[in-house]
Amino acid sequence: MNQPSADVRETGSGRPPAVADVDRIAANPDPVVRNLQITHCYAELSRALAARTGGAANWCTFAVWASKQVGQTIRQEDLARALERLLAGSPEVAAGVDLVVRGLRRAVPGRAVADAEGLVRRVVVATARLDAVGDAAARGNRKVFEEIAREFARFLAEFPGREFPGSGSSSGSGSGSGSGDGVGEDRRVAEFCEALRPGEPPEGQRYLRYAFARYHRAMVTDDPKQRAELLLLANIEVGLHEQTRLQPEITAALEGPVVDPRELERRLLDLVLPDNRVLRWLRLALLTVLGRRTPVRLAGEQLADHVRALARRVVTEHLMTLALPGGEVLDLGEDLPARFPPLLAQLVNPELLALLATVDPTKDSLLDTAARDWSDLPDRMHYIADMFRCHAQRADLFDPPFTDEQVEQLTSGRRPSGRL
């Protein structure tokens, strides 16, 4: 396991992103570029807070790689190809496609339909509404960023912290936070947290209140174990708030792929009768008036159920994959292939132990961390809490998610070239 870097420095302009930077990025109407800017901003926030807390991972550190992964869903990378592969291997889909082909040939007698099976399969993928998956992912990406990243930016501006040896931070010195007496500092922390909404998520921000108080304590303590446990506790609290807020978008992404038999029929007729709009309209209008469903529609209804199940499987597998630095890819449907770092092997913080008792049913163990259903909040949180704990000390999580050239392009509002 890699240890925290001794030289975690802020990037870019030398200052962490400000609230105005977060607001500007969140307002970007282009979901692809916005996601890239969000990912880069998380990286800068992550490094800025790590420089003030000894170099260990914070919630923003993990958000970098989660947001980068979400970017693939937003751009719909590999979704269509993965669905095509599953469709090709499904006997039920093959039988359904054959029924649609036969119905299509009856609907347009005398018309030669070249590669009818391939045509139907292509139209099925095109009507599976994979764009709805990308839209839901983009909404969730912005929703979390514009709320939580904004509070991290506000926190870093309010509490510049102190210098850790080799951290590269130049915002003070000594064992305090560099901002005055302890009583005054405690009052400022309380005021910061009171600006957050009371109550439970998704609308309340109780867990964020707790988390930022922990982050501040991690900034001022000299005890490495106490700091490590405070950071883990804060990370899990932010994660619990985040995942509760994301529940509607995760559900929408999983339920997004739906093949509408009427849309399937319309697109097929458009392709088979490209030059005869009147005939297409008369056929569909007459059948509607007579209250009849065409053979294509009937077969499409049967096919749609099989395709929806496979599409949900594709989306689930896509959402339950997390690529980390160094080419490591976590399958969130498998138990975590890691171990707890020494500082977090045996936990003593009572508040951390109490929270873990509610989100981690396998105490001090990675058995059964695999998430069975990503739409289930407790299932997700079990995996996420242990992932935060296992990877809390990984130095390579602070690696830049993009090249310098890509950063220059995305910060100027362009879609970068190269592998993202």
> Averaged in consecutive runs of 10 residues, what is the pLDDT profile of the chain (420 residues)?
45 78 98 98 98 96 97 87 89 90 74 76 87 94 98 96 54 41 85 97 97 97 97 98 97 86 81 61 50 72 87 87 93 95 98 98 94 92 97 97 97 92
Give the per-residue pLDDT at 229: 98
Q: In total, how many domains does the chain have?
A: 1
Global pTM value: 0.86
Do the domain assignments include residue 413? no
Residue 293 lies in a domain: yes
Give a three-class secondary structure readout of the chain. CCCCCCCCCCCCCCCCCCHHHHHHHHCCCCHHHHHHHHHHHHHHHHHHHHHHCCCCCCHHHHHHHHHHHHHHHHCCCCHHHHHHHHHHCCHHHHHHHHHHHHHHHHHCCCCCCCCHHHHHHHHHHHCCCHHHHHHHHHHHHHHHHHHHHHHHHHHHHHCCCCCCCCCCCCCCCCCCCCCCCHHHHHHHHHHHHHCCCCCCCCCCCHHHHHHHHHHHHHHHCCCHHHHHHHHHHHHHHHHHHHHHHHHHHHHHHHHCCCCCHHHHHHHHHHHHCCCCHHHHHHHHHHHHHHCCCCHHHHHHHHHHHHHHHHHHHHHHHHHCEEECHHHCEEECCCCCCCCCCHHHCCCCCHHHHHHHHHHCCCCCCCCCCCCCCCCCHHHHHHHHHHHHHHCCCCHHHHCCCCCHHHHHHHHCCCCCCCCC
| Residue 118 within any structural domain of the chain | yes
Domain that holds residue 303: 19-163+183-320
In a domain, 337, yes or no: no
Give me the pLDDT at residue 264, please: 84
Tell me if 294 is assigned to some domain: yes
pLDDT on residue 165:
56
The answer to whether residue 356 is domain-embedded is no
Instruction: Report pLDDT for 10.
Output: 43
What pLDDT is stored for residue 395 in this prediction?
A: 96
Q: Within a domain: residue 404?
A: no
5 in a structural domain: no
